[in-house]
Structure 1
Amino acid sequence: MYQERTSRLTGAVLWTNTPSSGRPGTGRVLPDGCMDLLWHAGELLVAGPDTRAHPTGSADGPWTGLRFAPGTAPALLGVPALELRDRRVALADLWPAAEVRRVSGRLAAAPDAGAALEDLALERAARGTPPDPALREIVAALDAGRPVAATADLLGLGARQLHRRSLAAFGYGPKTLARVLRLQRALALARAGVPHAETASRAGYADQAHLSREVKDLTGVRLGELLAG
């Protein structure tokens, strides 16, 4: 069973996924522009930003994760998002081994792993440099359907500057980020029961065929199959 709630860390979401007994199955994590700090089987992992759906198994024990808002994880984790794109890596590959052992021990002993994961992120955030406020503006502009060139102009950036910032913060350039955000808008509409043709128009696609192609390209399955799953 998957559950989530708003985290005490601004913009983040705390989630847990516990497989149902006797129902192994598989699932997929869809691109959303986010990065996650994961706790599973006594190990801390980092999930980088995805450009395609990431298949997951559900028979390998419970997972706890903290999903960071787009662009906010690199400052907290100390690594550019581009280095983690489409990857799942052990936190010990990014942080000193002694520190990872210490915080892993804390999580293993905690009665609530989710709360302990939040505490870890909050402590890191308090000691580090806050994310660049311009990153929120980039996400807001692209999520509103503003073209990349217009987004760069809005922020007073050149196209290359915007691209470099996007790679470091989000793991991919602004055009890919815009595609991912548009996909999430479309899925929210479709899951709310909005007809596919209207979903395509409201989410910013040229037509329903364009929506179908983008969903298949980014998730690996057709929209109807995705909604049914």
Structure 2
Amino acid sequence: MDDAWDGLGYRERPSRFGEAVVWTRTVTGDDAGSPVLPDGCIDLLWVGGRLLVAGPDTRAYRPVVAVGTRYVGLRFFPGTAPALLGVPADELRDQRIELADVWSSRTVRRLSEQLGEADDPVSALERIALRRVEEVAPPDPVLRRVVAALDAGWSVGATAEAAGLNTRLLHRRSLAAFGYGPKTLARVLRMQRALAAARRGMSFADTAASTGFADQAHLAREVRDLTGMPLGQVLTRSTGAVSEGPDPLRMVG
């Protein structure tokens, strides 16, 4: 993924961490309060001198932030962050919390001081993840296959069989890894694929057909259910992973 802008001041690039993107955003008067869409990811944020964790969302999140606020974020691909953070994803679902609620306050103070003094907080945030990955076990490779299968449009049953799990165990492991069950993750990933196609100029009807929806009406219903907004409004008012979004297939290796 190359550097990408979404027209609302949001920028991202691949992270040196490998299973994430780094992104920055400075809030302007035009995009203050713009919703952040569900994407199956967990973010580590540096904003206003604070280290925060943004858990996986089930619906669009609408931040209340002042114009001029600058975000630096590390968006971990689905299933990646829980091992690094040391907390199950479902405990972070629909939450924005202080990193000090997850790690020791002493550690977070030290990291915050480093970020506050850094000439390049983007690279400094990446270094936190790169150091952390040396200290913890890697995510279960089965999770990568699960994300890839669901993103390819496989059913939950077929995904479970390919992963060597029964559906009940897949659901339990998905909650801990992704924050919600495989069916919800599949819906979120499908919506993100559809929005990426629509942003490239594909018609809504062709977008629906190419991304696994029954028809355009089905696409519109799913987008409204997951975001609370009509499809057209989502395409003009959302921020975050709305250009191409995270590519779960990059996790396969």
Shorter-chain TM-score: which interval? over 0.9
Residue in 1 aligned with 2:99?
91
Residue 228 of structure 1: how far off its partner (Å): 2.8
Residues 4-35 of structure 1: CA deviation (Å, up to 9, x unaligned): 11110012100111123x55632111000000
Letter in 2 for 1:48: G
Conservation of the 8 A alpha-carbon contact between 2:26 and 2:68: no
Conservation of the 8 A alpha-carbon contact between 1:27 and 1:58: no
Letter in 1 for 2:78: P
| Residues 1:45 and 2:44 aligned together | no
Query: Out of 2, 6, 12, which is 2:10 matched to?
Result: 2
Higher deviation after alignment, 49-58 or 144-153: 49-58
Conservation of the 8 A alpha-carbon contact between 1:2 and 1:18: yes
Identity of aligned residues (%): 61
Letter in 1 for 2:46: W
Q: CA–CA distance in 2 between the matches of 1:223 and 1:115?
A: 35
Instruction: Summarize the alignment of residues 1-229 of structure 1 with structure 2, pairs less than 5 Å apart.
Output: 1-20=9-28, 23=30, 25-56=32-63, 57=65, 59=67, 61-229=69-237
Residue 3 of structure 1: how far off its partner (Å): 1.2
Residue 95 of structure 1: how far off its partner (Å): 0.8
Letter in 1 for 2:123: A
Q: CA–CA distance in 2 between the matches of 1:59 and 1:161?
A: 45
How has the CA–CA distance of structure 1 residues 126 and 228 changed in structure 2, closer, same or farther, with 3 Å as cutoff?
A: same
How has the CA–CA distance of structure 1 residues 156 and 18 changed in structure 2, closer, same or farther, with 3 Å as cutoff?
A: same
Q: CA–CA distance in 2 between the matches of 1:181 and 1:3?
A: 20
Pick 1 or 2: higher relative contact order, CA cutoff 8 A, min separation 6.
2
Q: Which has the higher helix share?
A: 1
Q: CA–CA distance in 2 between the matches of 1:188 and 1:116?
A: 29
Q: CA–CA distance in 2 between the matches of 1:196 and 1:54?
A: 24
Q: CA–CA distance in 2 between the matches of 1:60 and 1:179?
A: 33
User: TM-score under structure 1 normalisation?
Assistant: 0.96
Residues 139-163 of structure 1: CA deviation (Å, up to 9, x unaligned): 0000111000011011110111100
Letter in 2 for 1:29: V
* RMSD between superposed Cα atoms in Å: 1.2
Q: CA–CA distance in 1 between the matches of 2:38 and 2:27?
A: 22
Q: CA–CA distance in 1 between the matches of 2:136 and 2:37?
A: 29
Conservation of the 8 A alpha-carbon contact between 1:31 and 1:53: yes
User: TM-score under structure 2 normalisation?
Assistant: 0.87
